[in-house]
Structure 1
Amino acid sequence: MTVCPTAVPFGSLAADLHPNVGGKCASLGTMSQAGLPVPPGFAVTTQVFVDAKDASGSREQIAEVVDAELDRLAVVTQDALERVAARAREVVMTWEIPQEHVTVIRGMYADLCELSGVDDVPVAVRSSSTAEDSPDASFAGEHDTYLWVCGIDEVLDKIRRCWASLYTARAIMYRHERGYDHTRVDMAVAVQKMVRPRAAGVAFTLDPTNGDRSGICIDAAWGFGESVVSGDVTPDNFLVDKVMWTINRRTISPKTHAHQLTEIDGAPHPVVSRVPVPEDQVHVPSLTDEEILAIARLARAAEKHYGCPQDIEWAVDDDLPAGEDAVLLQARPETVWSKRHHAVGAKTDALASIVDTLLNPLYAKRGSQPA
């Protein structure tokens, strides 16, 4: 008998299950229930991961492959790390999802197809580790995401591949450097209806160049946001004032490539591929001013809900009407500037104090400073 459900829709994901669904799924559930525009989906809990690992009998084998192997190395080279990571992933990919969990996941996916009105609805299958997106660490980009996954068999396969991404070289080294125990980190998985983005990217509810909380900084590019998150494209950049809602900075970058849906001969459905951007779009802003402000307001709403600066992923969905097409795909605490306290004795003035109170009313009421 399992200690928690196999899977839970984002819209009914209770707070007491957050430890079992990882940072990404917990955030999607919280945003959905707060009324923010989040594409529907469900969380596959860590119970499925744990049961599959236990049934495989390979728990000790993972510890031997990762911890013992790293401990034996006098120097952790990239080649040695890649070998350790590849061996660990091979072990995880031998795990089978227990049949009772498969039955529930099939039902959840069928419900999502019915809700969307599409057979084999395309979904994003996203890793959601129990250590990621916490206030003291961000594993953004350390684990795998699979886009435009169609059909339950593909969904089940990608769930296992998300589990295996706990043991990529970068994820292993991230945990190793920060002292996380490799054997005590579990993986949940988010299965979320895909958007068809005209543009996508990230936004910070502060200026990441200097920590100034008076602005919302937006990075944007054509197509799927993976090009921005991975650093494959230099994105357009916009800075929006949180009080006046003016666009105070705009930098339009040449965007020569994008991650777009591509038809493949003989393939049953499109795949997301890196493709050249048409010449007439390379130097064109990827967002209109109305879209910039809509994304900024969504980011600010997420920040108000969570009560701390946020790092969000967003998209402009071509399948939704104009004015309603900006959606949130993820929100996590900002982990660099938000942990830095204001310098003691820093020069202040009346205007700065007023703006700080406007932007941080909760802290003003409590008589304390934001972290």
Structure 2
Amino acid sequence: MQSFSDAYSIDTQSDYQKVGGKAHHLSILSKIGGIHVPEWFPIPCQIMKAFCIENNLLTDIQYLNELAQDYQANESTIAILCRHIQEKIKQGTLNFQIAESILAKLKKIRNSEDDLVVVRSSGMIEDSTITSCAGLFDSILGLKTDEEVIDAIKSVWASGFNERVILQKSKFFSSLIDFEMGVVVQKFIQPKAAGVASTLVLENGFPAYEISANYGIGTSIVDGSIQPDTWRVDKKRGIILEQILGTKNEFHHFDQHEKLIVSKENQKDQEKFCLNRNEIKKVCEALRKIEDVYLKPIDVEFGIDPQGELYIFQTRALVENQSTTLLTIDRNETKSHVLLGEGNYAIPGVATGRLVYVESWSQLSSGQIKLTDQDILIAHLTTNVWTSYLDKVKGIITCEGSP
């Protein structure tokens, strides 16, 4: 008979269907030259399914699956059942052979018994191209003992059965029973500064590197407890387009007892940026290398250790949206084109369309000229009375003007 450990080997290849979204992306990340990733290993999704079978959870999950077919009608019952399943998972027993295999791999990524590790979720619907599910699953940092790691793995599995996750699962999966969660066990890096970064500006899609960071570990940014320092960097020339000094009134770190501490930041450090220009350059270079592999916008979580080494903890392709492409232009590139006119801008942006010159407001009010949503207005002067005629145009070019 095939043994349990043979059937559910944790040496499985890092295939998306086997290890989930986060581990899949870490596998890609680890193969990119010049990118430093803390040592890690995946626990495949099948291990969770086997655990649920051994701990008699399938009947509860089957019932939850039936209720989730009409989530709104069964919301209160789902909430109760979710808490019940979560508790059974946390109190469940992990197969001895599997536990031993996990601990053997854990030993390989530690340089000493004092090294801390992180246990992260790696769900099938996590960090995909259609949904990120950011913040729905647990990640547990600063783990030291073998017992803490095993308990954290079960807690991460249990986080797959909170009500918000079930709602998301019901949208993307026909059966919750077919859903298993992978887990990532990763060596913990105690950074002097950490944050998140992306290859576009998230609020408007502008194609620049966007970096947000704070002192200490990145949880203060992820949980939104502070206003971080932010930089937006030109992707072609590496020039900082904008930098915003955050309040950074607190930072998170682990003390000598492996306890997460929230400390108040001193005023001197608050009044300066937590990353220097060389560190910003390192983050941008890492973003470029990763985006060159993905060929689409990505974001990362990163940390910089006390020696100045940049580590990328995780990455994902950003969820695609249906917004129109944002048009941009490089001022240096305009030098090779014929200059039609120049001036100061009130609102930055780029547009293409039909240029329509309007000499006076009466041409609009009389209907002599009718502007469309494909037009760019050119006028010597605009005033407030023009407003009702300008709400749909792509752009406005004036010497003087309101709005």
- Interval containing the TM-score (normalised by the shorter chain): 0.7 to 0.9
Do the aligned residues in 1 keep the contact of 2:20 with 2:123 (CA within 8 Å)? Answer: yes
Where 1:167 maps in the other structure, the secondary structure is coil
Q: Which amino acid aligns with 1:85?
A: C
Where 2:130 maps in the other structure, the secondary structure is coil
After superposition, the Cα gap between the structure-2 partners of 1:189 and 1:349, relative to the gap in structure 1 and judged at 3 Å, is closer
After superposition, the Cα gap between the structure-2 partners of 1:295 and 1:81, relative to the gap in structure 1 and judged at 3 Å, is farther
Task: State the alpha-carbon separation in 2 of the partners of residues 37 and 72 from structure 1.
Answer: 42
Q: Which amino acid aligns with 1:247?
A: I
Do the aligned residues in 2 keep the contact of 1:42 with 1:191 (CA within 8 Å)? Answer: yes
Check if 1:39 corresponds to 2:32.
Answer: no
Where 1:197 maps in the other structure, the secondary structure is coil
| Corresponding residue for residue 92 of structure 2 | 95
Q: Which amino acid aligns with 2:39?
A: P
| Corresponding residue for residue 166 of structure 1 | 160
Where 1:93 maps in the other structure, the secondary structure is helix
What stretches of structure 2 of length at least 5 have no aligned partner? 337-403
| Corresponding residue for residue 28 of structure 1 | 26
Q: How does 1:54-65 map to 2 (within 5 A)?
A: 54-65=53-64
- Residue by residue over 1:182-204, the C-alpha shift from the partner in whole angstroms, topping out at 9 and shown as x without a partner, is 33221111111111111111111
| Corresponding residue for residue 277 of structure 2 | 289
Where 2:182 maps in the other structure, the secondary structure is strand
Do the aligned residues in 2 keep the contact of 1:121 with 1:151 (CA within 8 Å)? Answer: no
C-alpha displacement at 1:239, in angstroms?
0.4
Task: State the alpha-carbon separation in 1 of the partners of residues 128 and 43 from structure 2.
Answer: 19
| Corresponding residue for residue 272 of structure 1 | 260
C-alpha displacement at 1:281, in angstroms?
2.0
C-alpha displacement at 1:231, in angstroms?
1.4
| Corresponding residue for residue 198 of structure 1 | 192
TM-score, length of structure 2 as denominator length: 0.75
Q: Which amino acid aligns with 2:103?
A: R
What stretches of structure 1 of length at least 5 have no aligned partner? 264-268, 355-371
Task: State the alpha-carbon separation in 2 of the partners of residues 201 and 291 from structure 1.
Answer: 12
Where 1:249 maps in the other structure, the secondary structure is strand
Check if 1:123 corresponds to 2:121.
Answer: no
After superposition, the Cα gap between the structure-2 partners of 1:210 and 1:83, relative to the gap in structure 1 and judged at 3 Å, is same
Task: State the alpha-carbon separation in 2 of the partners of residues 26 and 53 from structure 1.
Answer: 23
| Corresponding residue for residue 242 of structure 2 | 249
- Residue by residue over 1:150-179, the C-alpha shift from the partner in whole angstroms, topping out at 9 and shown as x without a partner, is 021111111111100101233233334556
| Corresponding residue for residue 234 of structure 1 | 227
Where 1:233 maps in the other structure, the secondary structure is coil
| Corresponding residue for residue 201 of structure 2 | 207
Q: Which amino acid aligns with 2:96?
A: Q
Check if 1:68 corresponds to 2:67.
Answer: yes
Do the aligned residues in 2 keep the contact of 1:66 with 1:85 (CA within 8 Å)? Answer: no
After superposition, the Cα gap between the structure-2 partners of 1:206 and 1:3, relative to the gap in structure 1 and judged at 3 Å, is farther
**Higher relative CO (CA 8 A, sep ≥ 6), structure 1 or 2?**
1
Task: State the alpha-carbon separation in 2 of the partners of residues 258 and 141 from structure 1.
Answer: 20
Where 2:196 maps in the other structure, the secondary structure is strand
Task: State the alpha-carbon separation in 1 of the partners of residues 284 and 79 from structure 2.
Answer: 39
After superposition, the Cα gap between the structure-2 partners of 1:233 and 1:99, relative to the gap in structure 1 and judged at 3 Å, is same
- Residue by residue over 1:121-152, the C-alpha shift from the partner in whole angstroms, topping out at 9 and shown as x without a partner, is 21011111111111111112110011110021
Task: State the alpha-carbon separation in 2 of the partners of residues 334 and 120 from structure 1.
Answer: 35
After superposition, the CA RMSD in angstroms is 2.7
| Corresponding residue for residue 127 of structure 2 | 133
Q: Which amino acid aligns with 1:223?
A: G
Q: Which amino acid aligns with 1:122?
A: L
| Corresponding residue for residue 7 of structure 1 | 10
Percent of pairs with identical residues? 25
Aligned counterpart in structure 2 of residue 225 of structure 1, from 218, 228, 249: 218
Q: Which amino acid aligns with 1:327?
A: Y
Where 1:332 maps in the other structure, the secondary structure is strand
Q: Higher helix proportion, which one?
A: 1
| Corresponding residue for residue 311 of structure 1 | 299
Task: State the alpha-carbon separation in 2 of the partners of residues 307 and 14 from structure 1.
Answer: 23
C-alpha displacement at 1:72, in angstroms?
7.6
Task: State the alpha-carbon separation in 2 of the partners of residues 75 and 99 from structure 1.
Answer: 37
Task: State the alpha-carbon separation in 2 of the partners of residues 149 and 225 from structure 1.
Answer: 16
Aligned counterpart in structure 1 of residue 147 of structure 2, from 153, 156, 168: 153
Task: State the alpha-carbon separation in 2 of the partners of residues 315 and 123 from structure 1.
Answer: 15
- Residue by residue over 1:34-79, the C-alpha shift from the partner in whole angstroms, topping out at 9 and shown as x without a partner, is 23210111111112111111112211212324642784853747xx
Where 2:154 maps in the other structure, the secondary structure is helix
Task: State the alpha-carbon separation in 2 of the partners of residues 216 and 349 from structure 1.
Answer: 15
Q: Which amino acid aligns with 2:263?
A: V
Aligned counterpart in structure 1 of residue 325 of structure 2, from 321, 330, 342: 342
Task: State the alpha-carbon separation in 1 of the partners of residues 139 and 286 from structure 2.
Answer: 23
Task: State the alpha-carbon separation in 2 of the partners of residues 217 and 72 from structure 1.
Answer: 37
Do the aligned residues in 1 keep the contact of 2:195 with 2:212 (CA within 8 Å)? Answer: yes
Q: Which amino acid aligns with 1:147?
A: L
Number of aligned positions between the proteins: 330
Where 1:106 maps in the other structure, the secondary structure is helix
C-alpha displacement at 1:224, in angstroms?
1.1
